[in-house]
Structure 1
Amino acid sequence: MIRLIASDMDGTLLGTKMEVLEENVKAIRFAEKQGITFMAATGRGITEAIPPLKEAGLHCPLITVNGAQAFDENHQEIFTIDIPNQTSKKIMDIFYQHGVYFEVATTQGVFSNSRPRRIENIAMMLANKIPHLTFKMAIAMASAYLDLLAVNYIEDYHKLLDHPDIKILKFITMSQEAGAVLNPVREDLTKLTQTEEIVITSSSPTNIEVNHKNAQKGIAVKHVAEKMGIPLDQVMTIGDNFNDISMLQVAGVSFAMGNAEEEVKQQAKYTTIDHTEAGVAKAIYRAIEENL
């Protein structure tokens, strides 16, 4: 019997307007009535994850920043796994050397050094996640979306290393010219993994995300499940992209979205329909009805 469900958000739980679809909310409520705990497991930081969940009336535990942090249903911190400053500086230097725009997720929120570039990157993510959305429409949506989020702007990211109250959790860079621009960056970051405890993943084909090697969704799901006294064979996970693979691999029941990358589908035990069609709801009902 499933006792814990961990679902990714973007491209999984959320619909085309970055909202939790009503069908998914109903399915989550149905699961909760069966004594099942629902948890969001996202690459977003907590300040970016809470708004759509709150709007849907969902007060649930959270795994955020790809597993760098976890919070209970009251948003009290369970754990934080940050990237040491010396390692962070080396990662920053690689990004700067390649001249790519990047952002830094920290315990004090997300930091950017350019609002126009941030809008462009959010638009790129939306365009990749939402079928038939033009980039112009995505830019408009991104501008409105960012108005809802508290984003910090800073000229030089190195200043974050000198701040005693800020811990760095994740780096992310995006480019529309994914292969040509990102592959050289990925190569240098991969070399860095030989000496530094970092893991490289992505939440779309057009980005690269860097966390501490112990900050992965699969490790976080295992940690939270153990804390709740739930064995992994009674855990269900749902995701759509590469940063979800680790949690799909550890769970007894795992679903890939219909819109998931093919490699991600191969790592899941089951497949559901697209996120725009409330694939999370379909997966939840199936798991409960078939006692997966």
Structure 2
Amino acid sequence: MSQKILCVTDLDGTFIKDSIRISDEDLQAYRKLKTFSDFSIATGRSIKEIDYITHNKVSSHHFIAFNGALIEDQNHNILFKKCIPPVTVKKILHFLKQEKLIFDALDGNERIGNFHHEHPERLWNMELKTPADPFHALEHLSIYKFNVRPERAQTSTYVKKLKDTLPECEVYQSGGTRIEITAKNVSKGEALKHISRDYDLIIAIGDSGNDISMFEEASLSFCMSHAPENVKVHATYVVDSFNEAVDHIYELLAQSRKCAHTPLPIL
């Protein structure tokens, strides 16, 4: 009996290298992947943004948004949802105001904060609101995720400070100048647990700190070569591109079919 496979990919820096569009090479790789595997997306972005960037090009079995705070199936039925508790939102806002940090928060429809994006084309049709008092504007909204944007030299320091200040949250460094905050026990790895029961083999592809939990939960994992070293060490393989990862998966499956005594890992 053949294995039922699910491949789950990150978007920015992985399936979409320039945060603007999917390359022709990676679209071709996606079509090749779909011949032997189901395909799902796991990102720190919103469902709205996933729909915008994949519209009429890519179909996904699952939409894992906000690092797993919201999971929908291919028909956009909600499978899981967990916002940051209101009391914790106020605690986060107090910290950000006290430290005079740049940030934006996502409620599923908009980005709201004091962050001004230098490349609006990378917002994927997601409106960025910068009210005069973003702290007051956010107090009563349901927030899935905060993006905190310190100076590069201060990022690691603020990761530690945020983890110490917010033990009731998950804190990830997802770039040189970006830290992500979600509710406790929200991660891409936890999201895989919600969708893995129907599959024999889960394959994860990513490039960032918020992908580590996904690498650890998957049967096989591929990390982009441009990722930080502390991310790459958690993956099974390191590759230069999404299409290279798909080629490698295809070869591994072909080898496993020739050698029945050495099948690919099963969950």
Aligned to 1:238: 205
Question: Taking structure 1 as reference, are residues 33 and 67 closer, same or farther at Cα in structure 2, changes over 3 Å only?
Answer: same
* Count of aligned pairs: 254
Asked whether the equivalents of residues 225 and 239 of structure 2 are also in contact (C-alpha less than 8 Å), the reply is yes
Question: Taking structure 1 as reference, are residues 146 and 235 closer, same or farther at Cα in structure 2, changes over 3 Å only?
Answer: closer
Aligned to 2:259: none
Output the aligned Cα RMSD. 2.2
Determine whether 1:149 maps to 2:126: yes
Aligned to 1:178: 152
Asked whether the equivalents of residues 71 and 80 of structure 2 are also in contact (C-alpha less than 8 Å), the reply is yes
Measure, in 2, the Cα distance between the counterparts of 1:206 and 1:266: 21
Measure, in 2, the Cα distance between the counterparts of 1:212 and 1:287: 36
CA positional deviation for 1:184: 4.6
SS of the residue 2:25 aligns to: helix
Measure, in 1, the Cα distance between the counterparts of 2:13 and 2:247: 15
Aligned to 1:168: 143
CA positional deviation for 1:119: 1.3
Determine whether 1:192 maps to 2:169: no
- Residue 254 of structure 2 aligns with an amino acid whose one-letter code is E
CA positional deviation for 1:290: 3.6
Asked whether the equivalents of residues 23 and 281 of structure 1 are also in contact (C-alpha less than 8 Å), the reply is no
Give runs of aligned pairs for residues 56-135 of structure 1, distance below 5 A: 56-113=57-114, 117-120=115-118
Give runs of aligned pairs for residues 11-50 of structure 1, distance below 5 A: 11-16=13-18, 18-34=20-36, 36-50=37-51
Per the normalisation by structure 2, the TM-score is 0.85
Question: Taking structure 1 as reference, are residues 170 and 151 closer, same or farther at Cα in structure 2, changes over 3 Å only?
Answer: same
Which residue among 273, 283, 289 is the counterpart of 2:240? Answer: 273
Q: More relative contact order in 1 or in 2 (CA 8 Å, sep 6+)?
A: 1
Asked whether the equivalents of residues 201 and 208 of structure 1 are also in contact (C-alpha less than 8 Å), the reply is yes
Measure, in 2, the Cα distance between the counterparts of 1:289 and 1:267: 25
Measure, in 2, the Cα distance between the counterparts of 1:273 and 1:264: 14
- Residue 49 of structure 1 aligns with an amino acid whose one-letter code is I
Question: Taking structure 1 as reference, are residues 2 and 10 closer, same or farther at Cα in structure 2, changes over 3 Å only?
Answer: farther
SS of the residue 1:18 aligns to: coil
Aligned to 1:289: 254
Note the alpha carbon deviations across 1:214-233, whole angstroms, 9 max, x for none: 1100000111112xx224xx
Asked whether the equivalents of residues 206 and 224 of structure 2 are also in contact (C-alpha less than 8 Å), the reply is yes
CA positional deviation for 1:148: 3.0
Measure, in 1, the Cα distance between the counterparts of 2:171 and 2:10: 18
Per the normalisation by structure 1, the TM-score is 0.79
- Residue 64 of structure 2 aligns with an amino acid whose one-letter code is I
Aligned to 1:220: 191
Is the helix fraction higher in 1 or 2? 1
Gaps of 5+ in 1: 121-141
Gaps of 5+ in 2: 257-263
Determine whether 1:203 maps to 2:177: no
Measure, in 2, the Cα distance between the counterparts of 1:210 and 1:282: 34
Asked whether the equivalents of residues 4 and 235 of structure 1 are also in contact (C-alpha less than 8 Å), the reply is yes
Question: Taking structure 1 as reference, are residues 23 and 157 closer, same or farther at Cα in structure 2, changes over 3 Å only?
Answer: same
> Identity of aligned pairs, percent?
29
Question: Taking structure 1 as reference, are residues 290 and 91 closer, same or farther at Cα in structure 2, changes over 3 Å only?
Answer: farther
SS of the residue 1:91 aligns to: helix
Measure, in 2, the Cα distance between the counterparts of 1:286 and 1:118: 44
- Residue 7 of structure 1 aligns with an amino acid whose one-letter code is T
